[in-house]
Structure 1
Amino acid sequence: MLEKNQIVEVDIIDLTHEGQGVAKLDGFVFFVDNALPGERIKMKILKLKKNIGFGKVEEWLSISADRNQDLDLTYLRTGIADLGHLNYPAQLAFKKKQVETSLRKIAGLTDITVADTIGMDSPFAYRNKAAVPVRRVNGQLETGFFRKNSHDLIPIEDFYIQHPEIDQVIAFTRDQLRKLDLKPYDEKEQTGLIRNIIVRRGHYSGQLMLVLVTTRPKIFRVETLVERLTTAFPNLVSIIQNINDQNTNAILGQEFRLLHGSETIVDTMLGNEFEISAPSFYQVNTEMAEHLYQVAIDFAAVDSEDIVIDAYSGIGTIGLSFAKQVKHVYGVEVIPEAVADSLKNAERNGISNVTYVCDSAEAAMQNWVKEGIQPTVIVVDPPRKGLTDSFIKASASVQPDKLVYISCNVATMARDIKLYEELGYKLTKVQPTDLFPNTHHIEVVGLLEKRN
């Protein structure tokens, strides 16, 4: 009879999609952090439920050849790099297997070939955006990351997967907040001023944006803070305050105030320049996003007669990458600021054969159908929850030759592909791309083609 705190010997036989080791014992399936397939461990039982349990490694009896032994375990404990204990070639193989498993189990596809995951030459320091909480730890204002499944802040200076200059801006800002005696946010008491620091950096331009998320409008000695920041970082071209007075896990509130410089920073993606505002979505790994979008363009194999619908168009990164090769691009995005950005970005790049609307993807799709717009290619890049049935049915009903599906959640993608297959489309190509090295996240591009 197994019980809590008992020490048992187990073999790790698999990894969950989030990178936890899996072991089986006495009818229980156990999930264990920092344990890899092929390892035998002494495991302490932390929790038992009906037929699942959670354990922790007390001792390794054998160690996987795929283990990265150099990882600072802080990155595992916070989830910053929840696959960092697996060496990089094994991470890429693991992600390919995740895609194959989801397509087989959820979409029921057994005959599709999944390409090897496209990886990075150097899978560290790649993130162009960071959002870090500010809290009091041991009586001092700190920046860092929450321990997994908790709101306990672990102070961190080197975030491992963020561009080093972003880490420098965060540490410098933290030091200035301390010197100016600005109070960190306290979730329990609902007190304090500074909730979060967000930093964005243009991969090619090197331009920096800093967003201070505060609980109220007034920041004591804000001019001094701005002056010190811009002196230390001349490429800090945008400093913005965001006010979030709600008791919520959402980072950003509704109100933005410009404290210095420009409302946006500028960067380049596949040869086009993009203005990026504080709330807009922009892929956090520019180098690999270019690979991802190039795969989507190659899969679509467009020509000058094609009409493309870009659903979930964001600030226009995907649609504008297609535009110069096709007749027209129609984009839809639900965030008004992102639509405004996409229109500015089209103008900035001298692209006129695009139309952007602010609406839900479902509604815009139905309106375009009523207007008689006949797309030959539809590109979708939905959030983690995937597509709605109504969008899938509407998009299939206009009978495009091809649907290019870009996904950050292969499980919902597989679910959606199953419905597309029922509606007369066939998945013909799948390319995983590693936009988030050292984490369990994976981006995938799939090509669906209309059956004759």
Structure 2
Amino acid sequence: MSFIVNQHDRLTVQVEDMTHDGSGVAKVEGYPLFIPGALVGEEVEIEVGKTLKNYGFARLLNIKKRSEDRVEPPCHVFWECGGCQLQHLSYEGQLKQKRKTVRDVIDRIAKLPDVPVHPVKGMEDPWRYRNKSQIPFSEQNGKIVSGFYKSRTHHIVDTDVCIIQSEEADELMSTLKHHMFELGLSAYDEKTHKGMLRHLIVRKGRATGEVMVVLVMTKKKFPQKDAVIDMIKKVVPEVTSIMQNINNEKTNVIFGNETINLYGKSVIIDEIGDTKFEISARSFYQVNPVQTEVLYRQALDYAQLTGNEAVIDAYCGIGTISLFLAQNAMEVYGVEIVPQAIEDAKRNAELNGITNAHFEAGAAEDVIPRWYAEGKRFDVLVVDPPRKGCDENLLQTILKYKPKRVVYVSCNPGTLARDLRILEDGGYRTKEIQPVDMFPQSSHVEVICNIEYEGD
């Protein structure tokens, strides 16, 4: 590289692209610089920070030419907090950028430039959409703080309001923080491993209005338990469940193994479409129920069920997609490696009177071959893997048994593109791709793909 970029250099650059985490990208003679806060199309002054062999980081100093999509972030801690990355980009601009992100990786990694990537399905109101909040507590300079972590750190940015979570979570976070000392509660310190309250979890059923509050503590016994319960009930009259989770480990994992019921039920109910779900303190459940219904209806559309199909739902979790599909399929078989999730799935099937959905705990790449060995045959396979994408053995299982249709739901376009290339090389064809905005104001995008087998 003929041009050397050095730390502390001040440059004026053109922003050409955005990274998956929402930073602007400018290139200096081919050398990429990542610039948090910069938007595509802007001319900006920067100061170069850390430089590595293939890329570097820079600080935004001044915007000389602004993007038409730049807006003032409505959140007062946006520039400090790591929870959102795109509040400075208009919502229309966010949807365009997310589509571009998907298009780019499908072209570059999957090498499928002719596959349609549809416009992102966004929200009518992209605020207050989260039905679950996980709020850490700590003590800083003798003061109780709560809020969300600064990006790439464990430093809590103190706030009383988060405009993408429920108002109930805001009210409880603020009230608990300002009354902890008088309630005899101390906040957990990661460094010293002292203190009692680690996290406040608030879950809300959008369709039912039911609210669950979970206090993650280091000890089972805590002072003024009745006063704490009464305070929660007063602040959130809709609360139907108050739980305590015990976690005394030196870990970044939020939950411990023991959960105790302090008040009300041990679960809350929510609905997606006409399907009800029981949600416990530790259940995995999509955090944006409005867009979850959009996503699942798209999955149903791509599955093209007539009522005669047998369907596999790999990575089925608590059975959310499985039960949605079961109402239009002959049989649905869900598999999930977490045994507790399978118990939740079975309970949710019973709750909805669904008898044609069957669930088994185990790794999909182990369970699915056994189902085939038992003589079962499947027409459609639905996968909704974690961010790392499908297990390689599962992809080989798909290629071996060749279900006619695969519906791939992904929370990571990069690993999706990698897996699509493998399926394409094995005789599958990606027909179309539909992004869905599950996490407005963040850089994340959910993607759903319609894939058919066209090999021999």
Q: State yes or no: 1:245 paired with 2:259.
A: no
Matches within 5 A, 1:267-282: 267-282=270-285
TM-fit CA distance, 1:170: 2.0
1:179 to 165, 179, 182: 182
CA distance in 2, matches of 1:367, 1:219: 49
Distance 1:26 1:325, change over 3 A: closer
Match for 1:201: what amino acid? K
Partner of 1:46: 49
Which amino acid in the other structure matches residue 129 of structure 1?
Answer: K
Paired residues of 2:80 and 2:157 also in contact (CA < 8 A): no
Segments of 5+ residues of structure 2 without an aligned counterpart are: none
Return the match for 1:427 from 416, 425, 430: 430
Partner of 2:221: 218
Q: Which residue of 1 aligns with 2:239?
A: 236
Structure 1 position 232, deviation (Å): 3.0
- Residue 105 (str. 1) matches residue 112 (str. 2): no
Q: For each residue in 1:250-304, what CA deviation from the matched residue of structure 2 results, as whole angstroms up to 9, or x when unmatched?
A: 1111111111111110000111111011111111000000000000000111011
Question: Aligned with 2:207: secondary structure?
Answer: coil
Indicate conservation of the 8 Å contact 2:44/2:61, yes or no: yes
Per-residue CA deviations over 1:340-383 (Å, capped at 9, x if unaligned) read: 11111111111111111111221221221111110111111111
Task: Give the Cα–Cα distance (whole angstroms) in 1 for the partners of residues 152 and 328 of structure 2.
Answer: 46
* Letter in structure 1 aligned against 2:336: E
Matched, 1:127 2:130: yes
Counterpart code for 1:166? A
Mapped partners of 1:200, 1:409: distance in 2: 24
2:450 — aligned with what?
Answer: 447
Aligned to 2:415: 412
Q: Which amino acid aligns with 1:274?
A: F
**2:422 partner amino acid:** L
**1:384 aligned partner:** 387
Conservation of the 8 A alpha-carbon contact between 1:27 and 1:51:
no
Aligned counterparts of 2:125 and 2:335: Cα–Cα separation in 1: 34
Equivalences for 1:24-39 in 2 at 5 Å? Answer: 24-25=27-28, 28-39=31-42
- Deviation of 1:26 (Å): 5.3
Q: 2:205 maps to what in 1?
A: 202
- Whether 1:161 aligns to 2:150 is no
Query: What is the letter of the counterpart of residue 349 of structure 1?
Result: N
The aligned residue for residue 192 of structure 2 is: 189
Partners of 2:328 and 2:30 in 1: how far apart? Answer: 57
Say whether the 8 Å CA contact 1:405–1:447 is kept in structure 2.
Answer: yes
1:349 corresponds to 2:352: yes
1:284 pairs, out of 279, 284, 287, with 287
Report Cα offsets for 1:305-330 as digits up to 9, x if no partner: 10011111111111111112111110
In the aligned structure 2, how far is the partner of 1:72 from the partner of 1:43?
24
Contact 2:438-2:445 within 8 A present in 1 as well: yes
Is 1:152 aligned to residue 155 of structure 2?
Answer: yes
| Alignment partner of 2:88 out of 85, 90, 106 | 85
Which region of structure 1 is more displaced relative to structure 2, 170-179 or 115-124? 170-179
Q: Quick one: which of 38, 55, 59 aligns to 2:58?
A: 55
- More deviation in 31-40 or 284-293? 31-40
RMSD: 1.5
Conservation of the 8 A alpha-carbon contact between 1:170 and 1:199 = no
Q: What is the deviation of 1:200? A: 0.5
> Which residue pairs with 1:370 in the alignment?
373
2: CA distance between counterparts of 1:2 and 1:99?
30
**What is the TM-score with the length of structure 1 in the denominator?**
0.97
Q: 2:400 aligns with which of 397, 414, 419?
A: 397
Deviation, 1:73, is 5.9
The SS at the match of 1:167 is: helix
Secondary structure, in 3 states, of the residue corresponding to 1:364? helix
| Conservation of the 8 A alpha-carbon contact between 1:279 and 1:337 | no
Tell me how far apart the structure 2 counterparts of residues 240 and 8 of structure 1 sit (CA, whole Å). Answer: 53
Superposed CA deviations along residues 217-236 of structure 1, whole A, max 9, x for unmatched, are: 22222222112212332321
Which deviates the most, 9-18 or 22-31? Answer: 22-31
Contact 1:137 / 1:153 at 8 angstroms: preserved in 2? Answer: no
Identity of aligned residues (%): 38
Question: Matched residues in 2 for 1:87 and 1:40: separation?
Answer: 18
Q: Which moved more, 1:81-90 or 1:388-397?
A: 388-397
1:170 match? 173
The equivalences for 1:329-340 within 5 A come to 329-340=332-343
Secondary structure of the 2:378 match is: coil
Q: 1:68 maps to which residue?
A: 71
- Aligned equivalents of 2:392, 2:375: Cα separation in 1: 22
* SS in structure 2 at match of 1:369: helix
Following the alignment from structure 1 to structure 2, what is the Cα–Cα distance between the partners of residues 405 and 50? Answer: 35
TM-score scaled by structure 2?
Answer: 0.96
